[in-house]
Amino acid sequence: MIPLLIDCDPGHDDSMAILYAARHFELRGLTTVFGNSIVENTTRNALKICELAGLDIPVAGGIGAPLVGSFTPSMIHGASGLDGADLPEPKRRAVDMHAVTMIIEQARKAEGELVLAAIGPLTNVAVALRTEPRLARWLKCITIMGGSLDIGNASPYAEANILKDPEAAAAVFSSDAEIYLAGLNFTRQAILDRSHAEMLRQAGGAVPETVAGMLDFYLNRNEARYGKPISPMHDPSALVPFVRPDLVEHQAFHIQVELASPLLRGMTVADQRNVTRRPDEPEPPRANVKAGVRMDGPAATRHVIETIASYGRG
């Protein structure tokens, strides 16, 4: 199994990603960051998911604010960041280690093998890369849920995880790490709806039934916000390519994060031009990101839901 560390801000789709990962990866731990809620809530939510699923992995709390400015929690996830289900109170606490330290230590222990899944704002990851310059080459890769090759969601041009800390995202994208990106253009190809909540209920068991309740809440919030009771399967889509590469296609781009423009702040600007360079033009910047461009969305969604349903079978 591939060793994996998840940096997250649970979050309904984060929770699905954690449960999915625990079945398909050697899940080394969770680190938490602000985003869908304040970091105290996201850390508590991570512990609750571990308690629900019986996952004996360390959880380390991380950074609670962006590198520049402040942030607004994503209320589509509710006041706690994970409304919609009665989750068990965690019996364990977060470990006495900062998330940044855990990222560095886990990468050092599994040099060249660890996949870091960053499915919240990129603040912890950016600070870890700055703290330990060797981290980029210690990691096998970073797989990011964030950004978009087309339209945004938190603004017309920016996706929520990136917009919550654009400076951190810019630092990560400009690092020497190998980066895979699951942007909105990719995650919108895999759609969750009420039939998936029903599949989980039919599976039975505490985990599927609890996730069904969370999914009901999340779909209702999406319906109130966007007019339809559906949602892209965001965070798990950053992990599916490592388990089912047959379902996805990536393409290499040079991507930068816009910081200066108030209108475009947080936009992941991908050079998608397919042109022949003129002799008088400089060499274009090298591709720094492998971005998801195509996914068999129905198959990927079914694969993730079936994985979570399997908790009902022990």
Q: Which residue numbers are catalytic?
A: 234
Among the listed residues 103, 175, 188, 176, the one whose alpha carbon sits nearest the alpha carbon of residue 147: 188
As a whole number of angstroms, the distance between CA 88 and CA 67 comes to 33
Cβ distance 61 to 43 under 8 Å? yes
Lookup: tokens for 176: 């020497």
Alpha-carbon span 109 to 132, nearest angstrom:
14
Alpha-carbon distance 291 to 144, whole Å?
Answer: 9
- Compute the distance between CA of residue 109 and CA of residue 113 in angstroms, rounded to an integer: 9
Helices (H), 117-204: 123-131, 135-138, 160-163, 166-173, 184-187, 194-203
The DSSP H or E segment spanning 23 is: helix 12-24
Answer yes or no: are the C-beta atoms of 32 and 8 closer than 8 Å: yes
Contacts of residue 261, defined as CB under 8 A and 6 or more positions apart, other chains included, come to 267
Residue type, 297: G
Q: CA-to-CA distance for 105 and 29, rounded, in angstroms?
A: 11
